[in-house]
Amino acid sequence: MTHEFVKAASESKPIAMLCEGTNIIGADFSTEAEVSQKLDKVVEASESLVLASFRHTDVDRTRTLYEVAKRNKRKLAISLRQAYMLNKLKSDKHLDLPSLNSDNFLIFKREKKSYYKWEQTVLNFPNVVDAQEVKRIQNKVILATGFSDLKELVDMRPESGSSFILSSSEPFNEEMEIEYDKFVNWLDHFGLPMFHIHCSGHIMPTEIRQVISKIKPKRMYPIHTEHPALFSRFVAGVTSVELPAIGKTYEL
């Protein structure tokens, strides 16, 4: 998808480009294959339920956890939101996503009074399960969960030997930190160790320079970076960089 974007952007001959620079300092170079290997070790060693928190829009991580579950003779239980998205994206051959009808998928239904219409489109699948069913087959499941799923965690009551995997970035604002601390307290209550296994989805500095050199925008505006001046100097010679200022209007 990145290569397709770079090609299309280059052909459009852009007069301006916005580019994030999150990893311009402290870039952690790792791959999805390394994530998969680490996940394998944790899942293989876990005797009961494995909980995994990751972004529901991260199709790469969904695919990775599905393969990890399959190798370890488990099923990956995903949320209704993840199931709906996966069902919509299955026709895109470039993504190479597993089928929602696979024997290694479960669709986890959180109990509530009513469901949205888009949720109802996946509730009819035969592999839909609730908290009680997950509780019954704990040692055969990797459950995609999050900091907001406290009620389900109480209903499932993870048995001794269960594990929690944080497979996304750590909290980066006050609200997320509050939810994170609350969830950690519940992990402590149930005796669940936490493993942080993740690789950043943000582009590496050297790749940023390569992408910019291929797209060739007339002007570049770095955003989402704590070091805009460093960013500007790093890509110097590739394009003209203008550092955005709060309250200033830019005409293209």
Instruction: Please say which residue of 196, 211, 231 terminates a domain.
Output: 196
SS3 percent helix, strand, coil of the chain, rounded to 5, is 45, 15, 40
48 part of a folded domain: yes
| Residue 25 DSSP label | S
Sheet holding 17-20, edge to edge: 17-20, 219-223, 240-241
Q: Which residue has the tokens 């950690």?
A: 184
pLDDT reported for residue 188: 87
Q: Which residue has the tokens 């469901």?
A: 115
Proportion of the chain above pLDDT 70, given as a percent: 91
Could you tell me if 212 and 96 lie in one domain? no
Could you tell me if 118 and 46 lie in one domain? yes
Could you tell me if 17 and 123 lie in one domain? no
Could you tell me if 208 and 192 lie in one domain? no
The per-residue pLDDT for range 87-111, each reduced to its tens digit, is: 999 888 778 888 888 899 999 998 8
123 part of a folded domain: yes
| Residue 157 DSSP label | -
The per-residue pLDDT for range 14-55, each reduced to its tens digit, is: 999 988 877 666 555 668 888 999 999 999 999 999 999 888
Count of domains in the chain? 2
Distance CA 198, CA 104 (A): 22
Q: Which residue has the tokens 């939101």?
A: 81
pTM of the predicted model over 0.85: no
Nearest Cα to Cα of residue 147 among 52, 58, 48: 52
Confidence at 170, pLDDT banded by 50, 70, 90: low
Could you tell me if 111 and 169 lie in one domain? yes
Confidence at 154, pLDDT banded by 50, 70, 90: confident
The per-residue pLDDT for range 175-187, each reduced to its tens digit, is: 767 777 877 888 8
Tokens of 11: 């052909």
What is the DSSP secondary-structure string of 167-196?
-SPPP-SHHHHHHHHHHHHHHHHHT--EEE
Which range marks the domain in which residue 48 is found?
32-196
pLDDT reported for residue 195: 92
